[in-house]
Amino acid sequence: MKTKYYSYNIGELPEGCKLCVQGRKLVLFVTGLCSRNCFYCPISDEKKNRDVVYANEWPIKNSDDMIKEAELTEAKGAGFTGGDPLVKLDRTLSYVKLLKKRFGKKFHIHLYTSLDLVDEKTLKKLYDAGLDEIRFHPDIYNKRLWPKIMLARKFSWDFGVEIPAIPNTEKHLLISLRVRLIFLTLMNWSFLMHLLISLQGSDLFVRISFPMGLRALTSLRKSC
């Protein structure tokens, strides 16, 4: 089904996506620091590997600046990104709590992170702080940390995986999808048009934005 957001979808969008496509979320860049160095990382040289904080591309000096930007844009939620927000866990937890306190429990917050710094203790802290949704960016070439995704099932939130749709990685995707998720996003940072598909007979939500994704989907349907 074609949507008014220049995309196609079958099934239900993750809650975090629903507000994003409407431009109703504050984009909070928590830090440019990250434990990984992905070749496809799209962040600028001004941010990459630097401990800087931005709210909707505006550099902020303190939490008051963050709250002000959310108020000015009438945000209904926030997406925490980086870098890896878990590198600065205390800052991340503080921001989640502050936003929830100021705007209420319905202010939806989702967070992007790699699996490198994920453990059950950290996930519990995020959940207890009020995080609504977590999205993992695992290494598609190394499955060593993928079992950590299952830790997220211990908490009552939405969780899933976002990975780049890189040509000739279909085999990696098939192996990766043996983990049961709430949603999966196949994305390419240089191509913004998304095809939204849900796999028949599963809870898995898939968003595809690259021709390779179509080939992967064909393989996935055959394997399901």
Establish if 152 belongs to a structural domain: yes
How does DSSP assign 144-203, residue by residue? TTGGGGGGGGGSSSEEEEEEE--TT-HHHHHHHTTS--SEEEEEBTTB--EEEEE-TTSS
Give the list of residues 6+ apart from residue 20 with CB closer than 8 angstroms, or none.
79
Q: Tell me: pLDDT of 83 over 90.
A: yes
40-65 pLDDT, tens digit each: 888 999 999 999 999 999 999 999 99
Residue 175 in any domain: the answer is yes
The pLDDT of residue 174 is above 80: no
Q: Which domain holds residue 138?
A: 7-223
Interval 1-14 mean pLDDT: 66
- Domain presence at residue 170: yes
Q: Is residue 187 part of a domain?
A: yes
Q: What are phi and psi of 91, to 5 degrees?
A: -65, -45
Mean pLDDT (the chain, rounded):
79
pLDDT of res. 209 = 41
Q: Could you tell me the strand order of the sheet in which 194-198 lies?
A: 7-8, 194-198, 205-208, 183-187, 158-164, 133-136, 108-113, 77-82, 25-31, 54-55, 58-59
In a domain, 1, yes or no: no
95 lies in some domain: yes
Count up the domains in the chain and report the number.
1
pLDDT of amino acid 48: 94
Would you state the pLDDT for residue 184? 53
With 0.95 as the threshold, say if the pTM is over it. Answer: no
Kindly state whether residue 48 falls inside one of the protein's structural domains: yes
**Predicted local confidence at residue 200, as pLDDT:** 39
pLDDT of residue 202: 41
- Flag the least confident range among 9-13, 33-37, 121-125: 9-13
Q: Residue 67 maps to which CATH number?
A: 3.20.20.70
Q: Is residue 213 part of a domain?
A: yes
